[in-house]
Chain A
């Protein structure tokens, strides 16, 4: 149900913009108002989410330690998997966020005859996730070409690396292909692995279809159904300089691409996609494991009713004396 619903939701979005632009001629709405609204929703929404998370304190220091602790001087500490300093935490978070360390750890558990459990390395999800996120980032950065004058110097460099294969005209960007393959893989594993299908919600399929739609419309526009790039740049520069206008003659495919992106931006803060911001705040990863070295304060710590020694001794005094255990009051 989730798959079909999400698929048709994206199809309807596409039809919506098609009718809106082609039939009703609402270029102004789809080219200016919606993108602005989406960006505002994105920024406000993400800030709201992060502030809300940040508002809840971290009462206890609870890192998951995945390596040797800092203890005796002759025992080698694993400073990245079990950091005891801020520098270590930065290192741990960096490999987590840039290289998906925890996902790299992934193993597959299999029950074989015997019965015996076997564990094999399973890096496909890691590879696909890494390919997807890095492609996405590269594509996003490449798009800055449309939003800057003069074009920031690192953009041609990234384009050069991304397109070094130099196939055809316009030259083929690897990330365009990689992101489509990666999203397709992430979708297919959701469908084909029974357990993953069982846990999947419409909210898992929808962003996959949406991102696939964004990437596909982008690829079509770049390589197959050409649009007037000069006009597109005029529109995007109008948007960033808050002097928006709609140039004539941009093809419908551009509006589809732009609307799907706007949807993605607006959907972002209300969905699981906020994991992008959340991963930085995860208390099992971003805390140093030094809770015996430095005291960690719980802001809502309050006194609790406890059984005091006096109460204890009052109940057991005679028995303690008989057993020769020292007491406070004879």
Chain B
């Protein structure tokens, strides 16, 4: 399929917020090129035994649905209403005050009224009312109810895959209605008919088989990491030899696989390897549990749970004491809010204690999984690392709070503490765009494909705009984030809206500043760019 041309920034930023004259129930969905992802290939659906594998395109007239698709959906709704209080409640209590409307990055970037969280939820609520409430059954449209038609289903698919489940709207809703909960249910429902996107199902089936969403087989996981370590040796003169699947290690590291694969995430992985080597941590990397991210979450609760089976079972097999999790967004939403509920109790593990500082991580007492930012902040606080922040002086850094770690966990201060200790130039973006009000990169929840680039650039517009502000005001040239999708999604976003700003993870900055025992004099940072004051030597 041919690549869709993305309009230029000055064109894309002409956004019309005026809603159409016709009511939304009378407006049928239009599949605008560049705003949707390809449909799933059957092999991926088959790989994880989800229903209705077939060749199909979202733009097809006929989606090759099962005969009784309507019954499947309605039964699916009924089932989920019984299973999730959030779902039933959020179907009932919205007053349509509109406080969420301009909080969604997709609405701000597109002006499409169906991207207002309230209306995105109404797409499903209207059907709920028709079939599950007395007023909807009897009063129909007067009560905001409508029939479940083929067009409604297509509209669901189109708009539920235009939500990155970042939960920003939820922070502003007076009842805490969380559109992520609603689109998660919506996606589960359309998954009952075998409708998902290729960019989600590919990673899901890969993760299931190989343990990581890139489909890297065990020897490739190892060789990819060794490849990164060659670079580390060139830069620092230190040879690092991590272990893989080693039984009896104290700690299991579960990291997003994107970081051992591609630029710029690989610098973050190098940073973690360097840090753990420097403090002599007794840890192991697993090729089997080689993924922190969980794309199953974007198909159904069950698939997500199936993919995370590997985490605790591998920790048990390797007889480690506890787990450190890497810089990954949805990983932490799920590690923090789901993992223990799905696969706990993790009573074969021990309550995490940092072997370097002796700190007990009491907030991870039950899950036994510590976020690497918590771990590193503690190291710095106890003076266990020798840091030379001036090595990051060529970088003017700003911090992007990743949605899931912000609104699903509340980890704000740890990364800032780390950055302030490893960088001399740190600038915050405007207040209404950070912390719990942070804006999504525009590509979370499985939207980081290439064919929906226009949507990504629109969705990332508010984030980029805030970066542009600090870029122009302070000369910020590095956007740091602790989410692997951020590291994949933000570089094209920056190139499009704010050229001159690059993207990195937290531990890349840590590793740049980290003075390692026995290292040679460093002349470049991890990216091979000359360090401040060392440029001249490069020229000689």
Q: Is A283 among interface residues, defined by CB-CB distance under 8 A?
A: yes
Chain A residues closer than 8 Å to B436, beta-carbon distance = 64-67, 81
Whether A304 lies near B309 (C-beta < 8 A) is yes
Interface flags for A108-125 (1: CB within 8 Å of B; 0: not) read: 110100011101000001
**Once bound together, how far apart are the Cα atoms of A288 and B78, in whole Å?**
28
Chain B residues closer than 8 Å to A325, beta-carbon distance = 218-219, 222, 244-245, 287
Given contacts A66-B436, A292-B340, A307-B309, contact A194 B367 (CB under 8 A): no
Min CB distance A330 to B, Å, is: 14
**Once bound together, how far apart are the Cα atoms of A290 and B92, in whole Å?**
27
**Chain A stretch 296-315: residues in CB contact (< 8 A) with chain B:** 296-298, 300-301, 304-309, 312-313, 315
Whether B209 lies near A69 (C-beta < 8 A) is no
**Chain A stretch 63-115: residues in CB contact (< 8 A) with chain B:** 64-72, 74-76, 78, 81-82, 84, 96, 100, 102-103, 105-109, 111, 115
Q: Is A156 among interface residues, defined by CB-CB distance under 8 A?
A: no
Chain A residues closer than 8 Å to B367, beta-carbon distance = 291-292
When C-beta atoms are compared, the residue in chain A nearest to B170 turns out to be: A64
Whether A284 lies near B101 (C-beta < 8 A) is no
Given contacts A60-B338, A125-B99, A195-B113, contact A326 B246 (CB under 8 A): yes
Point out the residue from B23, B336, B437 that lies within 8 Å of A292, measured CB to CB: B336
Chain A residues closer than 8 Å to B381, beta-carbon distance = 72, 74
Whether A309 lies near B178 (C-beta < 8 A) is no
**Residue of A103, A196, A198 with highest tally of chain B CB at under 10 A:** A198
Q: Is A323 among interface residues, defined by CB-CB distance under 8 A?
A: yes
Min CB distance A91 to B, Å, is: 15
**Once bound together, how far apart are the Cα atoms of A282 and B91, in whole Å?**
12
Chain B residues closer than 8 Å to A329, beta-carbon distance = none
**Once bound together, how far apart are the Cα atoms of A66 and B412, in whole Å?**
10
Number of interface residues, chain A, beta carbon within 8 A: 98
Whether B96 lies near A111 (C-beta < 8 A) is no
Q: Is B348 among interface residues, defined by CB-CB distance under 8 A?
A: no
Q: Is B532 among interface residues, defined by CB-CB distance under 8 A?
A: no
Which of A12-20, A21-29, A136-144, A270-278 interfaces with chain B?
Answer: A270-278
Q: Is B31 among interface residues, defined by CB-CB distance under 8 A?
A: no
Chain A residues closer than 8 Å to B89, beta-carbon distance = 53, 56, 278, 281-283
Whether B103 lies near A272 (C-beta < 8 A) is no
Min CB distance A290 to B, Å, is: 8
Q: Is B524 among interface residues, defined by CB-CB distance under 8 A?
A: no
Q: Is B474 among interface residues, defined by CB-CB distance under 8 A?
A: no
**Once bound together, how far apart are the Cα atoms of A137 and B289, in whole Å?**
55
Whether A66 lies near B219 (C-beta < 8 A) is no
Whether A65 lies near B406 (C-beta < 8 A) is yes
**Once bound together, how far apart are the Cα atoms of A142 and B18, in whole Å?**
44
Point out the residue from B122, B173, B302, B409 that lies within 8 Å of A102, measured CB to CB: B173
Q: Is B2 among interface residues, defined by CB-CB distance under 8 A?
A: no
Q: Is B98 among interface residues, defined by CB-CB distance under 8 A?
A: yes
Whether A199 lies near B119 (C-beta < 8 A) is yes
**Once bound together, how far apart are the Cα atoms of A126 and B181, in whole Å?**
25
Q: Is B66 among interface residues, defined by CB-CB distance under 8 A?
A: no
Whether B314 lies near A109 (C-beta < 8 A) is no
Min CB distance B393 to A, Å, is: 27
**Once bound together, how far apart are the Cα atoms of A291 and B365, in whole Å?**
10
Whether B171 lies near A102 (C-beta < 8 A) is yes
Chain B residues closer than 8 Å to A129, beta-carbon distance = 97, 174
Q: Is B411 among interface residues, defined by CB-CB distance under 8 A?
A: yes
Q: Is B134 among interface residues, defined by CB-CB distance under 8 A?
A: yes
**Once bound together, how far apart are the Cα atoms of A61 and B340, in whole Å?**
10
Min CB distance B230 to A, Å, is: 16
Whether B144 lies near A52 (C-beta < 8 A) is no
Chain B residues closer than 8 Å to A100, beta-carbon distance = 174
Which of A33-41, A200-208, A248-256 interfaces with chain B?
Answer: A200-208
Whether B176 lies near A193 (C-beta < 8 A) is no
Given contacts A72-B374, A198-B113, A304-B306, contact A56 B85 (CB under 8 A): yes
Interface flags for B381-392 (1: CB within 8 Å of A; 0: not) read: 100000000000
Point out the residue from B15, B94, B219, B341 that lies within 8 Å of A60, measured CB to CB: B341
Whether B305 lies near A67 (C-beta < 8 A) is no
Whether A70 lies near B363 (C-beta < 8 A) is yes
Chain B residues closer than 8 Å to A117, beta-carbon distance = 108, 461-462, 465-466
Interface flags for B417-449 (1: CB within 8 Å of A; 0: not) read: 100000000000010110011000000000000
Q: Is A169 among interface residues, defined by CB-CB distance under 8 A?
A: no
Chain A residues closer than 8 Å to B217, beta-carbon distance = 316, 319
Min CB distance A53 to B, Å, is: 5
Q: Is B283 among interface residues, defined by CB-CB distance under 8 A?
A: no
Chain B residues closer than 8 Å to A278, beta-carbon distance = 89, 92-93, 175
Q: Is B106 among interface residues, defined by CB-CB distance under 8 A?
A: no
Whether B170 lies near A284 (C-beta < 8 A) is yes
List 18 extra interface pairs beyond A68-B413, A102-B171, CB under 8 A. Answer: A57-B85, A64-B167, A66-B407, A68-B411, A72-B361, A72-B414, A105-B171, A106-B99, A196-B96, A199-B24, A270-B134, A272-B96, A274-B92, A282-B93, A282-B176, A290-B363, A305-B306, A323-B218
Residue positions of A touching B, CB distance < 8 A: 5, 49, 52-62, 64-72, 74-76, 78, 81-82, 84, 96, 100, 102-103, 105-109, 111, 115-117, 119, 125, 129, 193-204, 270-272, 274-275, 278-279, 281-285, 289-298, 300-301, 304-309, 312-313, 315-316, 319-320, 322-326
